[in-house]
């Protein structure tokens, strides 16, 4: 089956006609010169579009003086701070290709990516200098390291030394040379199945994404977003950097991603995108709040939620909603749910999305019940993060929606999702063979995901093609969906890795939630609340078993977890078990925990 989508109309920003993102920035900065472009919490720092353009031009001249020119690459190793946008834009004005390194990268990983990208300039913060210095020993081509904060140590330059050091530089002439086919940025894949590959995204690709977004979200004139995801991830660059450049969205920088939820009430974003774990935590927090209320109020809140859920389920099933139920939910919305949305800071969203991993149906239903139409979407670095998305006017829970405007999707004979669109990458950097392998003869990108279409042309993602479990009896299963079911069954479960390929039954490695588990343990009177101690505590183990049992009740018999092992400690992004984008590194996990895994298949 094949599906396509057409574009609808929405607000037309002045920069929409720009052929490149660099030109779009000039248009937006001119139109909104006195409006705030970038800020931090409580307006501790605030920069208008006009001020940003002046600083960008000054830094572009300074980088040109260091020898940066069109076609060069500039590496950024920065957290979510205003300097990221400044430095990225300055390199962009030169026709160079700025790209980001995950701040958790080891010196070896930094060296590998810097070599592959061919970057001769790296811009970073003081806190990452130790990693950068060690990596620099193996990087003879790295000519300059620029530090954005504090004094520049020996062998580096401070940002103020570079910014404004070439006042005569003609930025407009530089921008005029940039072509839509020039590489805008590199997004390095997470490397779950081998060394990271540099996805080359062009200005044309990103302009196609802008056009696609136009058909999905009607941003208000004063739209706002929060920059909080790693800048090396395609979702962060799109949602909180490139799209704001074109649509003139105000960006609030959240330097610590663990604080993003506390930023919501102040910013009240127009668009908020987050991974499933954020929404799971929000849901758990609201449920805990309900449970803490006096009995009468708790019963009122619970009745409102149950009514909201009944309405959502009837609507999703295409069944009529009685006038009585509709009235009950409308009253609950006015008296309860509207207050919850305001409390969360999500009362002014035009769209809210979740992606990057399967989202439990219970989580999606919960937010729809309280008037927050959370919509799943799907995309890849290779497609600028675009692919398919649920339209706000018709969200089908359990799907990632129909193809986004301008995107063509079909399925291969084995169910692999194939994509053709102007959003699809130029190719992998320095890997012509891998690039060739990634495309079919008729120009479709092989995504590596297995999917299916429903009767309305909505796409369902089963799992990664290479990660499907085929058990000893030949049954195919999705580990990601099993893991999502486990995590949604108990707030104690922070991470889960399902094992079962070529095995007689499924088992799981379970990691306790680093936020919830210690708090829960303290309430139970457990003295030692370290994750290592809690993994051995019988009360914790019993509670986790309850969660596994609850998950198994929702899984097919062949999918159920027969045994599990609670891992001592935590799995951190960029560590042995998780990529920086929190995807499971299945092969390294299997190797590291081989003894524990084998133990779950050894007869007692």
CATH of the domain at 84: 3.40.50.980
Provide the pLDDT for residue 393: 87
> What gap in Å lies between CA 147 and CA 157, rounded to an integer?
6
> What gap in Å lies between CA 253 and CA 42, rounded to an integer?
11
**What is the torsion angle, in degrees rounded to the nearest 10, for the CA atoms of residue 245, residue 261, residue 400 and residue 425?**
40
On whether residue 91 sits in a domain, the answer given is yes
Number of domains in the chain: 2
> What gap in Å lies between CA 190 and CA 416, rounded to an integer?
20
The residue behind tokens 């899984």 is 555
Name the DSSP letter for residue 318. Answer: T
> What gap in Å lies between CA 310 and CA 441, rounded to an integer?
47
On whether residue 329 sits in a domain, the answer given is no
Per-residue pLDDT, averaged over 122-149, amounts to: 96
Q: Of 238, 186, 202, 187, whose CA–CA distance to 217 is shortest?
A: 238
Name the DSSP letter for residue 578. Answer: B
On whether residue 101 sits in a domain, the answer given is yes
On whether residue 417 sits in a domain, the answer given is no
> What gap in Å lies between CA 213 and CA 231, rounded to an integer?
20
Q: Which of 133, 157, 178 is the last residue of a domain?
A: 178
Q: Which of 155, 178, 201 is the last residue of a domain?
A: 178
Q: Which of 163, 178, 193 is the last residue of a domain?
A: 178
* Cβ pair 423, 205 in contact under 8 A: yes
Residue partners of 104: CB distance under 8 A and separation at least 6 = 572, 573, 574, 575, 580
The residue behind tokens 């929404």 is 279
> What gap in Å lies between CA 15 and CA 37, rounded to an integer?
15
> What gap in Å lies between CA 323 and CA 482, rounded to an integer?
37
Rounded to the nearest angstrom, the gap between the alpha carbon of residue 571 and the centroid of all alpha carbons in its chain is 18
Residue 5 has pLDDT above 80, yes or no: no
Q: Cα angle vertex 312, ends 310, 313, to 5°?
A: 65
Say which CATH number the domain at 497 has.
3.30.300.30
Question: pLDDT-based confidence at 7, cuts 50/70/90?
Answer: very low
* Cβ pair 506, 469 in contact under 8 A: yes
* Cβ pair 545, 486 in contact under 8 A: no
Q: Of 517, 599, 518, 525, whose CA–CA distance to 563 is shortest?
A: 599
Name the DSSP letter for residue 573. Answer: B
On whether residue 408 sits in a domain, the answer given is no
**Residue-wise over 356-379: b if at least 16 C-beta within 10 A, else e?**
bbbbbbbbbbbbbbbbbbbbbbbb
On whether residue 392 sits in a domain, the answer given is no
> What gap in Å lies between CA 336 and CA 305, rounded to an integer?
9
Residue-wise pLDDT tens digits, 434-493: 999 999 999 999 998 889 999 999 999 887 778 778 887 777 788 888 988 898 888 899
Residue 45 has pLDDT above 70, yes or no: yes
> What gap in Å lies between CA 495 and CA 168, rounded to an integer?
54
* Cβ pair 14, 31 in contact under 8 A: yes
Residue-wise pLDDT tens digits, 163-192: 999 999 999 999 999 999 999 999 998 765
Residue-wise pLDDT tens digits, 511-557: 999 888 998 998 899 999 999 999 999 999 999 999 999 999 988 88
157-158, strands of its sheet edge to edge: 97-100, 73-77, 121-124, 144-147, 157-158
On whether residue 138 sits in a domain, the answer given is yes
On whether residue 105 sits in a domain, the answer given is yes
> What gap in Å lies between CA 501 and CA 477, rounded to an integer?
9
Query: CA neighbours within 13 Å on the CB side: how many for 131?
Result: 22
Residue-wise pLDDT tens digits, 72-106: 999 999 999 999 999 999 999 999 999 999 998 88
Q: Of 523, 530, 491, whose CA–CA distance to 510 is shortest?
A: 491
Label each residue of 271-339 as H, E or C.
Answer: EEEECHHHHHHHHHHHHHHHHCCCHHHHHHHHHHHHHHHHHHHHHHCCCCCCHHHHHHHHHHHHHHHHH
In 515-588, DSSP assigns E strands to 561-567
> What gap in Å lies between CA 345 and CA 268, rounded to an integer?
5
Q: Tell me which residue range forms the domain holding 137.
A: 49-178
């Amino acid at each position: 089956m094949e599906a396509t989508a057409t574009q609808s109309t929405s607000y037309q920003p002045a920069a929409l006609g720009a052929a490149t993102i660099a030109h779009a920035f000039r248009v937006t900065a001119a139109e909104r010169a006195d409006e705030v472009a970038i800020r931090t919490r409580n307006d501790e720092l605030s920069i208008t579009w006009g001020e940003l353009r002046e600083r960008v031009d000054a830094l572009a001249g300074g980088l040109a003086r260091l020898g940066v020119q069109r076609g060069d690459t500039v590496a950024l190793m920065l957290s979510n701070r205003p300097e990221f946008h400044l430095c990225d834009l300055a390199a962009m004005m030169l026709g160079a290709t700025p790209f980001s390194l995950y701040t958790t990268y080891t010196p070896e990983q930094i060296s590998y990516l810097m070599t592959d990208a061919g970057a001769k300039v790296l811009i970073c913060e003081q806190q990452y200098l130790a990693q950068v210095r060690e990596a620099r020993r193996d990087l003879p081509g790295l000519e300059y390291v620029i530090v954005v904060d504090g004094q520049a140590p020996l062998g580096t330059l401070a940002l103020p030394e570079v910014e404004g050091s070439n006042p005569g530089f003609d930025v407009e002439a530089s921008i005029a040379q940039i072509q839509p086919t020039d590489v805008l940025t590199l997004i390095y894949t997470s490397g779950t199945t081998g060394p990271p590959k540099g996805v080359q995204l062009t200005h044309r690709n990103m302009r196609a994404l802008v056009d696609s977004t136009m058909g999905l979200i009607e941003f208000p004139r004063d739209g706002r977003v929060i920059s909080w995801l790693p800048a090396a991830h395609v979702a962060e660059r799109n949602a909180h950097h490139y799209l704001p450049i074109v649509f003139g969205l105000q960006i609030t920088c959240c330097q610590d991603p663990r604080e993003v939820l506390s930023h919501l009430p102040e910013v009240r974003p127009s668009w908020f995108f987050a991974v499933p774990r954020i929404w799971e935590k929000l849901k758990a927090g609201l449920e805990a709040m309900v449970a803490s209320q006096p009995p009468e109020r708790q019963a009122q809140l619970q009745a409102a939620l149950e009514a909201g859920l009944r309405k959502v389920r009837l609507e999703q099933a295409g069944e009529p909603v009685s006038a009585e139920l509709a009235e009950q939910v409308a009253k609950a919305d006015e008296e309860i749910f509207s207050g919850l949305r305001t409390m969360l800071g999500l009362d002014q969203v035009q769209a809210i999305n979740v992606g990057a991993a399967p989202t439990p149906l219970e989580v999606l239903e919960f937010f729809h019940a309280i008037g927050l139409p959370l919509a799943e979407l799907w995309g890849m670095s290779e497609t600028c993060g675009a692919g398919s998305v649920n339209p706000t006017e018709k969200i089908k829970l359990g799907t990632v929606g129909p193809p986004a405007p301008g995107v063509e999707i079909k399925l291969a004979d084995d169910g692999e999702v194939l994509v053709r669109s102007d959003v699809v990458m130029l190719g992998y950097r320095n890997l012509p063979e891998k690039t060739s392998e990634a495309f079919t003869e008729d120009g479709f990108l092989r995504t590596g995901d297995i999917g299916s279409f429903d009767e309305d042309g909505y796409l369902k993602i089963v799992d990664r093609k290479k990660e499907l479990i085929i058990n000893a009896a030949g049954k195919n299963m999705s580990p990601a969906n099993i893991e999502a079911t486990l995590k949604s069954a108990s707030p104690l479960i922070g991470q889960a890795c399902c094992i079962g390929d070529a095995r007689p039954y499924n088992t799981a490695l379970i990691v306790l939630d680093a936020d919830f588990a210690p708090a829960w343990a303290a309430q139970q009177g457990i003295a030692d609340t370290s994750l290592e101690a809690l993994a051995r505590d019988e009360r914790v183990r019993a509670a986790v078993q309850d969660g596994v049992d609850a998950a198994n009740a929702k899984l097919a018999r062949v999918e159920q977890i027969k045994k599990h092992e609670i891992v001592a400690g935590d799995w951190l992004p960029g560590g042995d078990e998780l990529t920086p984008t929190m995807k499971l590194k299945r092969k390294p996990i299997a190797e590291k925990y081989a003894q524990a895994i084998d133990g779950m298949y050894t007869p007692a």
